[in-house]
Amino acid sequence: MRRARQLIPAMAVLVIAAGCSNTTDDDAVADATSSGAASTTNPAPTPWDPCTIPDEAIERAGLNVDTKESGVFGRDQNGFKICSWETQPPSSEYIFSIFVGLESIEYIDDPSYFDRLQPVRVGTRDATQYQQLSADASRNCGVAFAAGPELIRATIITSALVKNPLYAPCTELNSLVAGLDSDLPS
């Protein structure tokens, strides 16, 4: 229940950032041909699942493997595979999330959802640091980069229970992503 209360503000931001979509699920659809036989289309490609990062790598990064959560309330959002972890107890200061979708880096160029974009180097990758629109930069941060046909976004959202974080969110985020670099698609 505590985790749900902490996630509600973050989920509200995700819902607002996601906007409306008129696309359907990525499931294959059968269609009838004139002969009456059914054929199926090839299933749409799906993004890499960040929940497949090995637990050992997550622990090395200082995250609690027991808090792993796939999706937002168990569901992928707007074509993005999502996985999140909290920091190790007793602090549980923030939630670290990775979003992977079949989008280009231009996805975060939308000023109605993202702002304060700036180029950064994260580990071996050229990336773009960003904030969700109206997010408090002293508590939250995002970074995005392309890996082949996929867009990888990572975020830190500080727990509402933490009054004054003892870390700089973007510095902490970039360190986490750099530490997981070998476990992410290239």
* Contact (Cβ atoms closer than 8 angstroms) between residue 53 and residue 183: yes
Question: Any idea what DSSP says for residue 72?
Answer: B
* Contact (Cβ atoms closer than 8 angstroms) between residue 171 and residue 140: no
Q: What is the pLDDT along the chain (186 residues), one digit of tens a residue?
A: 344 444 444 444 443 344 444 444 444 444 444 444 555 677 778 999 999 999 999 999 999 999 999 988 777 888 899 999 999 877 779 999 999 999 999 999 999 999 999 999 999 999 999 999 888 999 999 999 999 999 999 999 999 888 889 899 999 999 999 999 999 998
Q: Which domains does the chain have, with CATH numbers?
A: 2-13+45-183 (3.40.1000)
What distance in Å separates the CA atoms of residue 183 and residue 54, rounded to the nearest whole number? 8
Please tell me whether the peptide bond between 90 and the residue prior to it is cis, using omega within 30 degrees of 0: yes
- Contacts of 102 by beta carbon, 8 Å cutoff, 6+ apart: 45, 46, 47, 79, 149, 150, 151
CA-closest candidate to residue 172, choices 136, 135, 139, 134: 139
